[in-house]
Structures are given as structure tokens and as C-alpha cells.
A and B are shown apart, each in its own frame.
Chain A
Amino acid sequence: MTETDNQALSAAQERTLLRATLENMSQGVAMYDANHHLVTWNERFRVYLEMPDEFLGTDRTFSDYIRYLGERGEFGDADIEVELKRRLSVLDTSHSFERVRPDGMVLEVRRDPVPGGGFIAIYTDITERKQAELAIRKAKEDAESASKVKSAFLANMSHELRTPLNAIIGYSELLAEDAGDRGDTAGLADLEKIGAAGRHLLGLINEILDLSKIEAGKMEVYIEKVVLRTMLDDVKSLVAPLIEKNGNALVIDCPDDIGALRTDLTKLKQCLINLLSNAAKFTKTGTVTLRVSRRDDTDGTPHIAFAVQDSGIGMTEEQIGRLFQAFTQADSSTTRNFGGTGLGLTITKHFVAMLGGTINVTSTPGEGSTFTIDLPDRAGIAPHEDNVIDVDDGMRAASAITVLIVDDDDAVHDILSATLGREGYLLLHARDGAEALTIMRRTPPDVVTLDVQMPKVDGWSVLGIMKSEPELQNIPVVMLTIVDDRNLGFSLGASEFMSKPIDRNRLTALLRKLTSSANNATVLIVDDDADVRNVVKQTVEAAGMKSAEAENGRVALQWLEANTPPALILLDLMMPEMDGFEFLENIRKVERWTDIPTVVLTAKNLSDRERSFLAERTLLVLSKSGQPIGSLGAALSALARRGQAVKPNTKE
């Protein structure tokens, strides 16, 4: 056998091997040469793409294939030539995307260039994986809604439990007084036990209610200026009986010039009372010290630390680890020996987090523990600044502005009534969408606050109906919703807004802020103005990043489909073909794109069209949690005035 024969045979064997490999792959494969002619393919390619045999031949090109698919309707209504152009433009780089075939099969398409020209296309059937992902997402959503139902149930339940419990406690005290008057000491002792057990149960129910409110995101934060000395005196008198019970002494160590802190007074008080009563509970004939100190953060924010130190039994590392979990105390025997619900610290931790602070604990068994709460001054906290409409000084004169509050949650009605009613608004109340519409048609209000989530007819549907009725469509609407921190205030789904002309320094700063690893990250610039794209591109590249450009939303979407998600999108709002609003709506539908930070580039003054878009949707999303009601009142006033300007004849 000659060397050449050997090689020839090897080549033949290799071909057989390659063919066998191709046919045994669990993916569809098609290979194209440098001229985009189809070179080889496997059976699975034919099956996945349902390619007729007569199509498959080496005289076919990639363009023929794409056009064939397009004509067969695989790309829906999309323009075949646009689809082709988009695919051709990325063939020199490895890329992948997902495509849903008309029969519902989800294909992951991956194309990689091969050495010497040409490329290989690999098709993976990911239908099952996609279905599993959907099932997981659904399960997660179900779990979240179950958690909401649970919280609502607990809140109602707590109320129902408290009413009879009040009677038990009240009548046991009444009888105890009678027993005391009669000198019936045995009866008195028993009645006091009933009362004490009732109060313990009541405390437990109240803490569960607090916790369920926290978990449901319904716990409000009221930031006010807290004069610390006054607050500490108050706390001292409240905990005095608890401190004295175990023969302890309370020492408050606080500089005279400690001053004030902007925070939530009642939550801070509750935290300190929790920590001090814990300290008193676990210390016998010892000392409980509350040490208060002020420091400035690196960025100049004042912080106040409250350290509660006891000389009690202390805890091990392991016990500390379990400390902040609901219903867990340092030791299961703790409840037996020391009482308590095991919820106080959990609630304290939540409150501290809501106030932007931290809580730490150090402890030595047998020597005592120190719990330290560190809270920042919340002076600069004005959430939703970008979305809250400017308010004139005259907003207090809100008299005779009618606000319709639509919410299925009584607590929201109570809170809004308390704050808005005081400011002179005339309030109308509706508990569901249907009732809201009835009231509106009878008495058109100046502003409507609309809960997004309501049973039967939800907030968005009410909004939709309002916008279709001439009598109602000009009434400004504030959508009230619980939104997570990341989306707080950015109702359009954008991360930031930037006005044109572009301030390059601010853009550079934004790039640094929004893209964690600056190097090699890609920034997608979407703007129909080539000059703007150019300026932005230079800035992006000067910051060490790559840029990609799209002249409108549709092109940007195509780019996104064909490429790995960019680190950031810079987006113009007004563009031909597909504008920024539509683009944002589209990317919010695709999960892998929802996390891309988007900076909206907009002219300093919103155009009429932008305004009407915003007015159409009235997307002022305020959060129920963490939203100071003051700014809601401000937004309502401003909206009411805007509404009155729109319909000048309705209010005389």
C-alpha cells in the first residue's frame, strides 16, 4: 500500500466519519462555503426546517434558503429582504439567536464562520427548555401571588382575631377590678393570668400584622425631623417598666449636642424599644446602656448610631446567625424561659432596612450583647424626583379639588384620606373599577388615583375605558402601584433620562455608572440623527467601549436579535418607523432584554407628541411603598391644575 493510497483511504474514512458524526448530532447542521453555497447538511436540518429534498443541493445559496423560508411565511409579516440583509450583515462573526417556527418549535440558531471562508449553521431544538422556563416563570408568579394572598389573609385575620381578644382582655380586667374590690386574691391572680396571656397573644398578632404589612410592601415610611433628645426621653419612659422588672438600670449615653436626624420617628422608636426590651429581658440585675453617637459618611451624609449594650447572658456565633429569622430565637428554650414572640428583631431589621440603615450584633456568651443600629440622615430623600411634577407654593390652596381614590385596599383609602383630606381635597372613594366608572360618570373628579391591581376590573382596564370616553378622557390619572426599587419612578422602563444637546461629561459619567465593566462592553446608540449618533459614538469609544448604531427602533430591535445584549442602550424617543416608546415596549416583552439599562435621550422640552403620548398613558407611576404622601399630594395638585387647563369649562 502506497503512502498516497493510505492517505486517500484516510480521507474517505474521514468523510465517512464526518458524515456519521453529522448524522448522529442532536442538532440540525448546514455548512456553507465562502460564496455562501450550501456544501453539506444533515438529516436533522432537513427535518427541523422541513426542507423539501428538491431544495437541498449544492447549487443553493444561503440567500436562496432565507428567501425560501421567508416566502414560506417563517418570518411572519417581516420584510424578507430586510431579514436577509440583517442575517448577511452578521455572517462574519459568531452569533446566535432564537426563532419560533410557525409550528411552535423554538430553534436556537447559531452561526459561526469557519477558517478559510464560509460558515456553519447549527440548529438546536430548545422547545422543551423554553417550555420549562415558562413553567418555572409561571410557578414563580404563582408563588408570588400566593404570598400576596397570604399577606392579605394575615392582615384580615389579625383584625378578626383582635376584636374578640380585646373583649377577653377588657372583661378579665373588669373582673379583676371587681375581685380586687372584694378582696378575692385567688380570683384576682387567675384573672390577671387570663389578662396577661391575652396581652401576650395580642402582641404576637400585632407583630404578625406588622410583618405581613412589611412583606406585602404596604408599610409606609414617613421621614420627618426627629429631635433625638426628645425622642430618647420618650423611649426611656416607655421602657422604664420593662427595665425595672428584672432589676436592671438603664444608662443613656448621648452627647448633649446630638441634634436631629431626618428619619421615621415611630419606626425608630419601635426599633429602640424592641432592642431595649430584649436587652432588659435577657439581663438580670445588670445594666442596659443605650449609646448614641454621630458620624459623617465618606460622602458627607450624617449618620447616627444607636448601640444597645446589655450585661446579660450573651449569645454564641451560631445563635447570632439565627437571630433575625422570623419566629426563631437564639435558642428554642428561649421562648420558654424568656417569653417574647421572636418577631421583634425581624421587624427591627426590616424597619432599619426601610430607613436605609444597618443593624449589627456582637456578643460574648456570659458577658452580654451589643446591638447597633446605624441610620443615615434622610435629608436628600425625595423619591421619584424625575417624575414628580413641580409644585407651586400655592399647592396648599387645593380647596375644592375633587380626587377620586380607586383602590380595593381600605388602608390606602385611610392613608390618602388622612393626608389629602387634611389639605382640603374633596375625596370620593371607589373600591373597584366598576364603582369608579359609575362615580366618574356621575361626578367627574379633577384627578383619579387608580390602583393597578384590583379584583374584577383592574386599573389599566379602567384607564383604558376612561380614555375611550370623551367625558372622562381628559381627567388626569395617577396610577398607584407597588413597583420594585429598580423600576421606581422610571415609568417608561428607562434607567435614566438625558436631555439633548448631549453633555459629554454627563454621558461619560452615565456610562461608567450603568456599565459595570467598561472595557469591551458594547453600547447600542439608537437615534435617527447621524450627528447625534456620531457625538455619542465618539464619547462611548473615548470611554473604552464599543458602539453599535441603529437609526430607528426597528433596526435596533433587529440588531438586538442578532447580537448578544449590549451593556447599555442610548435611546432617542422621536424616530421614524419605530419610535423610542414602541421600542421600549418591545424590549420589555423579551426577558433577556429587560435587564439592559436604557438611557433615554430627549430634547430638553418635551414635544407635543411626547406630551400627548405621556398624557395618553398618564404613566406617572408612584409607589405605594416608600412614597412620601407629600409628594403624591404635590403631584395630584399639579395634575389637577393641568386637567383644569385642559377642560376649562368644567369647573367654575
Chain B
Amino acid sequence: MPVKILLVEDNEMNRDMLSRRLLRNGFEVVIAVDGQQAIAMASSENPAIILMDMSLPVIDGWEATRQVKANPATKAIPVIALTAHAMAEDEKKARDAGCDDFDTKPVDIARLVGKINALVGSSS
């Protein structure tokens, strides 16, 4: 059974690109377009891992991560933060919010798949 990824991304093109590349790499992908939907789908879809964009409408990625990590039912799901620019502060901010790992967009797909496998392997 393929590993199920919850991809949280508001930008349509980024969503399309990344989901197609993840599917091609053998993952199952479910999509949330804002932070609120992400929190709901973390519970309802029970994904193996969440890829979280940080600047999201309604509830941003940092807050959504905090809520996912605050809920006993979802806190074990690893979260990888994806931000557009590897600013010095971004990685720290993401980790402070509870993210397990961090990567920058545009993604280096091989590196990202490596990170996904490392986290999914360790949590299962």
C-alpha cells in the first residue's frame, strides 16, 4: 500500500507540480489548500506524513502545525515544512512551530523523497 502524503499548498501550480512528482515517485497524495483544511484532513485522512506550505490562507502553516501537534490524535504525524525562501529565520521558525523537518521550494525531489522516507520510516 502506498504511503499517503497530505500536501498542504495554496498555490495551484505548486500543488499540481509537486503532487504529480510525488505520484510519480509512488506516493498517494491527498490535498489541502489552507491551514484549516489541513488540520481537519490530518484527522480524517490519517496521512503518513504532511508536507506543509507555511504561508497559507485562513490559518497559516505555523499555526496549523502547532494545532496538528497539539492534538493527541494527530501529533505523531511527521510534518515537513516547505517555504519559498531559505531565509535564515525560516528553518528555525518552522522547527519552533513543531515541524519535524524543513525544505525549501522549489523542491529538489530526490532530497525531499529522502526526507519523507526517513521520517515515515522512523514513525512507523
Contact = CB atoms under 8 A, between A and B. Distances in A.
B63 interface: yes
B21 A174 contact: yes
A173 interface: yes
A202 B106 contact: yes
B11 A163 contact: yes
A266 interface: yes
A220 to B, nearest CB: 6
Interface in B51-86: 60, 62-63, 66, 84-86
A210 B11 CA distance: 23
Contacts of B24: 177
Interface residues of A, number: 33
A367 interface: no
Contact of B106 (A170, A210, A213, A417): A170
A575 B113 CA distance: 71
Interface stretch (A121-129, A418-426, A606-614): A418-426
The majority secondary structure among interface residues of chain A is helix
B1 interface: no
A367 to B, nearest CB: 33
B21 A177 contact: yes
Given A171-B17, A417-B63, A209 B85 contact: yes
B88 interface: yes
A166 interface: yes
Contact of B88 (A167, A171, A267, A414): A267
A40 B63 CA distance: 81
Nearest to A171: B17
The residue among B87, B88, B97 with the most chain A CB atoms within 10 A of its own CB is B88
A270 B91 CA distance: 13
Given A162-B84, A417-B63, A170 B92 contact: no
Given A162-B85, A170-B106, A418 B21 contact: no
A75 interface: no
Contacts of B105: 166
Given A174-B17, A174-B21, A418-B96, A266 B88 contact: yes
Contacts of B86: 206
A417 B21 CA distance: 33
Contacts of B63: 417, 421
B17 A422 contact: no
Contacts of A421: 62-63, 66
Contacts of A593: none
A170 B14 contact: yes
A264 interface: yes
Contact of A169 (B96, B97, B106): B106
A169 B107 CA distance: 9
B17 to A, nearest CB: 4
A222 interface: yes
Contact of A270 (B21, B88, B96): B88
Interface in A121-170: 158-159, 162-163, 166-167, 169-170
B18 interface: yes
Contacts of B13: 166-167, 170-171
Given A163-B84, A219-B88, 8 more contacts: A166-B14, A171-B13, A173-B109, A209-B85, A220-B89, A266-B89, A266-B91, A417-B60
Interface of A: 158-159, 162-163, 166-167, 169-171, 173-174, 177, 198-199, 202, 206, 209-210, 213, 219-220, 222, 264, 266-267, 270, 414-415, 417-419, 421-422
8 contacts: A167-B17, A171-B13, A173-B106, A198-B106, A209-B85, A417-B60, A418-B96, A421-B66
Q: Which 5 A-B pairs have the closest CB atoms?
A: A170-B17, A266-B88, A169-B106, A167-B13, A418-B93
